[in-house]
Amino acid sequence: MNGAAFATGLAATAGAALVVMLLAFAAGLRTGRHRGVDVAWGLGFAAVALTGLGLSAGYGDAGRRALVTALVVVWGLRLSAHIARRGRGAGEDPRYAAMLAGAPPGHERRYALRKVYLLQGALVWFVSLPVQYAQYLPQRLGPLAWAGTALWALGLFFEAVGDRQLDRFRADPANRGRVLDRGLWRYTRHPNYFGDACVWWGLFLFAAGSPAGWAFLPSVLLMTWLLAFGSGKPLLERQLSAHKPGWAEYAACTSGFLPLPPRRRQRQGRAG
């Protein structure tokens, strides 16, 4: 591991994340909606990984660099495309509307830049640290990296299939006001968030093959916390509990995060 090269790479990847978020901020000002930052989230991870791939050439193992970068880019682009498609033509995300309602008068733009875009850019860079470190490791791919690839694949399955099942459910007018309790959603209330966590634990294993790689454990722990206890699951569930009549019944019998057998039989098409 070349420490000087890695440090230079860290600065460059921070710049890549910043550029993506500044472009998203400009788009948000133009449209008057800041929900586009969610599209920039996945793109930011892809930009950081691709920047690290270019700068780590000649330092890290070529196979490790290529594989870990490809996994991040595939995950990031799929997520961004899904969020962009889902939000097409929609108004502002209630989360951001509530957040920006507290902006000091006359400083709304600066407040949005700091609280929404720069914060998410910093999170992208910090969560990506295990990937950036793995790109500079000279060791060839070993058992931990392949285990990480398998865990990444499991996570992408939960995320992509869960999103697809939810999209199909919402597209049927007969399901309006109902809670999806079939498919992966029968076993966890958030298959997409669980999938995200698996993806990043899998990517962390690429760095964990080196003892020093464990120094980046806080990155994946933070991502997991955000999904399960921070801005992911809790905020979404507060919205659903207020607008979905069957939510409380569904939540009472369905695991909140880890996929588990439902605690009691559910009736078709409703939580129960």
| Residues 84 and 120 grouped into a single domain | yes
Give the mean pLDDT of 94-100: 75
Number of H helices, E strands in the chain: 12, 0
| Residues 1 and 80 grouped into a single domain | yes
Candidates 162, 201, 208; CA nearest to 185 is: 162
| Residues 221 and 263 grouped into a single domain | yes
Cα–Cα distance, 73 to 70 (Å, whole number)? 5
Contacts of 265 (CB under 8 A, 6+ apart): 272
| Residues 65 and 135 grouped into a single domain | yes
Residue 272 has what pLDDT? 28
CA distances to 45, 96, 220, 232, 234 from 102, in Å: 28, 10, 30, 20, 20
To which residue do tokens 């793995």 refer?
Answer: 134
**Listed residues 115, 140, 165: the one ending a domain:** 140
Is the model's pLDDT at 98 over the cut of 80?
no
Cα–Cα distance, 58 to 157 (Å, whole number)? 33
Q: How many structural domains compose the chain? A: 2
Residue 266 has what pLDDT? 46
| Residues 136 and 2 grouped into a single domain | yes
| Residues 99 and 233 grouped into a single domain | no
| Residues 255 and 225 grouped into a single domain | yes
Cβ-based neighbour number of residue 53 at 10 Å: 21
Q: What percent of the chain has pLDDT over 70?
A: 97
Note the pLDDT tens digit of each residue in 162-214. Answer: 999 999 998 899 888 888 989 999 999 999 999 999 999 999 999 998 999 99
| Residues 133 and 33 grouped into a single domain | yes
Q: What's this model's pTM, rounded to 2 decimal places?
A: 0.89
Kindly indicate the confidence band of residue 265, based on its pLDDT and cuts at 50, 70 and 90.
Answer: low
Q: One-letter amino acid identity for 112?
A: A
Token pair for 205:
């294993």
Output the DSSP codes for 213-249: GGGGHHHHHHHHHHHHTSTTHHHHHHHHHHH-TTHHH
| Residues 106 and 149 grouped into a single domain | no
**Listed residues 108, 140, 172: the one ending a domain:** 140
196 with 164: CB under 8 angstroms?
Answer: no
Candidates 147, 130, 270; CA nearest to 212 is: 130
Q: Classify 259 as helix, strand or coil.
A: coil
Cα–Cα distance, 45 to 75 (Å, whole number)? 9
Q: Give me the domain span that covers residue 21.
A: 1-140
| Residues 267 and 157 grouped into a single domain | yes
**Listed residues 77, 107, 140: the one ending a domain:** 140
Cβ-based neighbour number of residue 166 at 10 Å: 17
| Residues 201 and 247 grouped into a single domain | yes
| Residues 127 and 147 grouped into a single domain | no
Looking at every residue in the chain, the average pLDDT score rounds to 90
Residue 270 has what pLDDT? 38
